[in-house]
Structure 1
Amino acid sequence: MGYRKIILDYADDNNGIVTSNWCVKEGIPTVYLSRMVKDGELHRVERGIYSLSEYDYDDFNIFHLKNKAAIFSYSSSLYLLGRTDFVPHLIEVSVYTGYNAAHFPDDVIVHYVTKELLDLGKIFVETPLGNSVECYDMERTVCDLICNRNKVDAELFAKTLQSCVKENDLNLNKLFSYAKKMKCLKKVQEIMEVLL
């Protein structure tokens, strides 16, 4: 099988996306990507990211492909989890303290956490366009909102917590376990006592 066919098959199986990093890992010369762009078989979306012609641009997926160290959090995770009715105009992500996020676009809000807490509550979810990205689960997101209430929009805070109580879908054991690890157990318990 030729390199072009391998690349096109992979892109078909990967929601229309192929990266130069993938080609390198597979031993495929990246010059094929440039040739396929020139021949109209692929489009260059961003540096190192290519798509089939019919690919719908997915901000979340493209950001995720370019920035593997970042995890969608706060309003972005609420959106990806289907827990908010508005599309956030800014992307919010968490990275470990010390990570250089200077290359992130201006429309990205960065939250820094310790390396020990970065993966706490991390899950894979599908974007509205069907691509798999990393974000925090609902319990971690609620902990972030409560622990950092001063950084969160008041309306978003209230609606999220009211929705959680109404839907009754929070795992309280997991929520309190996360809160303990994040050193904000008392805050979380106080808020949850008022709501429940």
Structure 2
Amino acid sequence: MGHREDLLEGAKRCLLQKGFARTTARDIVKESGTNLASIGYHYGSKDALLAQAYVAMVGELSAAFDGGNQAGLTSEPGSVERFQEVWTNVIATMKEPGSLWRLSMEALTMGDQLPELRDHLASAQRESDRGLVTMFMGGREEDVPEETAVTLGRLYTTLLLGLVAQWTFHPADAPDADALTEGLRRATAAWKPGE
């Protein structure tokens, strides 16, 4: 591995150990075996490096959402069964010790104090919206129309962030996939034709 990759891996370890706010550039350098100048050269800033490290970790984690890939999901795309299957997989990642999801809450609550980090994560969020659409509905991310990404994708993102908040705040009371699916069934049953 070169310095760029070493920095990224070191930043991932620092994030899991210390989070965004407490990780310093010196921590990353120590963890990666590189030097301070490498951060600026390869990533521009510590916050940009941390944002890329976080996005990379979420990407690695998202493989668990769909069983490694869409072929790992067994239910029909767009079905209630797919909805339940994906949420079951997502929730399983929240139950793991040292879950990455606590970093999501830190990024949300510290966004104003870490504006560069917030900006990097906001641009990555747009791609995440597309990925969630394909996870639930099938297809390829590059084929998801912008309107679908900013409507359906953001609906899934909103559900995900709310779920992360509940699992972070009080896991014992957080909903499981069965409860989410039943909530979806009840909501759709209450809709009147033409709405």
TM-score normalised according to structure 2 size: 0.29
Between structures 1 and 2, the one with greater helix share: 2
- Based on CA coordinates, which of the two structures has the bigger radius of gyration? 1
Q: Larger RCO: Structure 1 or Structure 2 (Cα < 8 Å, ≥ 6 residues apart)? A: 2
TM-score normalised according to structure 1 size: 0.28
